[in-house]
Amino acid sequence: MIDFLLLLFLVVCAIAAIRMKDLLSAIMILGVYSLIMAVVWTRLNAVDVAFTEASVGAGITTMLLIAALSRTKRGEEGNRQSSISRRSLAALLVVLVTGAVLIYGTIDMPNFGDPNAPANLHVAPRYIEKSHDETGVENFVTAVLASYRGYDTLGETTVIFTAGICVILLLRRKSEQ
């Protein structure tokens, strides 16, 4: 029941964010969307993902978008097309077909939390049984991110570093140097 309500709120937030003409309101609704999504992750027992969603999606992304908004106009330009054009019909068709394919794809998926699901039979038992002895940390997620997949995390950190450098190169004003 609560899951259904949360998903309903997600859809409402998504539609509201698209329909909103005031961009600041749209950004705030996106923040709410992320916060609800964080609750959904918690309901799925993915607390690390929920934490990231809450801090990045609801927190820092909202602030960075507001910062970007401070350089542009607060409202949308021009009149929104109210009549249904041929292009919007084509877009609707593409969205419907893609959605149908995605739903068709979920039919074969194992149930949530199924211990016999392929994802739970491959490396997961090894992480659960041995990660504490092999890495010395108690949280599986941290063990996987920092030790078993240490190269990936180094790469991610480098990506963030690169993003920072790019912003400095592109947006920093010369007079400040």
Q: How many helices (H) and strands (E) does the chain have?
A: 9, 0
**Does residue 133 bind other proteins (CB under 8 A)?**
yes
Cβ closer to other proteins: 91 or 154? 154
**Does residue 174 bind other proteins (CB under 8 A)?**
no
Name the minimum Å distance from CB 17 to other proteins: 20
Q: At what angle do helices 23-43 and 2-19 cross, to 10 degrees?
A: 160
**Subset of 16-55 contacting other proteins (CB under 8 A):** 47-48, 50-52, 55
Name the minimum Å distance from CB 172 to other proteins: 6
| Paired tokens of 110 | 């194992």
**Does residue 176 bind other proteins (CB under 8 A)?**
yes
CA 122 to chain CA mean position, Å:
26
**Subset of 62-121 contacting other proteins (CB under 8 A):** 63-64, 67-68, 70-71
Contact 20, 29 (CB under 8 A): yes
List, as one string, the DSSP characters of 91-134. HHHHHHHHHHHHHHHHTTSPPTT-TTSHHHHTTHHHHHHHHHHH
Name the minimum Å distance from CB 65 to other proteins: 9
Among 5, 14, 15, 60, binds other proteins (CB under 8 A): 60
**Closest of 52, 44, 61 to residue 142, by C-alpha:** 52
3-state helix, strand, coil in the chain (%, to 5): 75, 0, 25
- Note the residues at the interface with other proteins (CB under 8 A): 47-48, 50-52, 55-56, 59-60, 63-64, 67-68, 70-71, 133-139, 141-143, 145-147, 150-151, 153-154, 156-158, 160-161, 163-165, 167-168, 171-172, 176
